[in-house]
A and B are shown apart, each in its own frame.
Chain A
């Protein structure tokens, strides 16, 4: 009886999280600036050898995106946990998994999507071809939501623990290895002239699976953390 429509609930939570993020902009920019800095350090550190840079680029950008997305994971639930709003979300007559999914979506819009947009600019530092840059964007577009949705489960499990930030990365990074392999693999195959379709298809499959199952697992982890 008191149920909001599914889309109504999603838009309520997403809008709330986006407004909160906009009023706390420093947090949002950290992820993006970290990503830009790490990627930009490599050409400076490795030296201006075009051939080597071009070869390293896909893996480098992807590893940096992975590390950057770890930075913001701790914040996904911690503020709501501390001020009690998370508790109220659990007591709302709505599905907690859908609330989680909405929070993940908002988190991705704020910390994942900007990486997708900025990546081609960074890729130019490595002399990547236009085609490779396109594929890089597509892999990040498919891959960064996976990092957010898997990361949410790690963030939920480490909620309220001391030193939770580092622990989230230790928990989540190994789970993200397939994403890294297929993401960087797709770009590499385009660079070496092979069709990237199979890698992209696998990334898409991981995304669908993660979206279907992880919110429920995360919701359960939240219940355990709040007990």
Chain B
């Protein structure tokens, strides 16, 4: 029973393809895995300078933690966001880049985008662990008891991202525009998610077509994740039930639709790739 489940989930294949991505990523580079730490480090320095020092954006005060640190405020959402961006970017090309494999060997194609996301997810796990240690040492901010909540959020985000990855990778086989479109769309998406600024800076008293700005703004599912991560790691409190509901609904919908779309587009991939 367990064996059959492992078989249908393609555990061995997923593990091997994920390892392939991880192993080959920094081959023949001098700094190797240091790059994956340098990347968020540089981002947090630059964003802190621009948004905290130049533009003077004030982070909210952690409630109940009482913490007031823009760097921590930023990092707890920036790392999950960077996972979102890099997984989607890499997953989009995962099928087209493996054209020779697709046309020569049959295996369940969904493992390609999924393993691309998984490889990035393992990186995120390491980054989050480093982050928790850093804020404990540097800020005296202990968020360790909230690890189970964060893991739950991360697991749901993983499924959500896999759903999106299935959509974009399959669509990209038929229209190479998808990869370019994604490059264009991800930047505004980041600015429409409360990563660099707190959610309360989005005006609640203005309306567009009778709907409040902040309500519209929160249609973006990534808002819920950003807020929930920040609740757990910055404020040190349990995210509200509405956040959880939004997150679970977004995950289920995107994953289901993603699989449906993938199934539809899968049969002719070998011809179109």
Tell me whether A and B are bound partners. Answer: no
Q: Which positions in A face B, CB cutoff 8 Å?
A: none
Q: Give B contacts to A, CB under 8 Å.
A: none
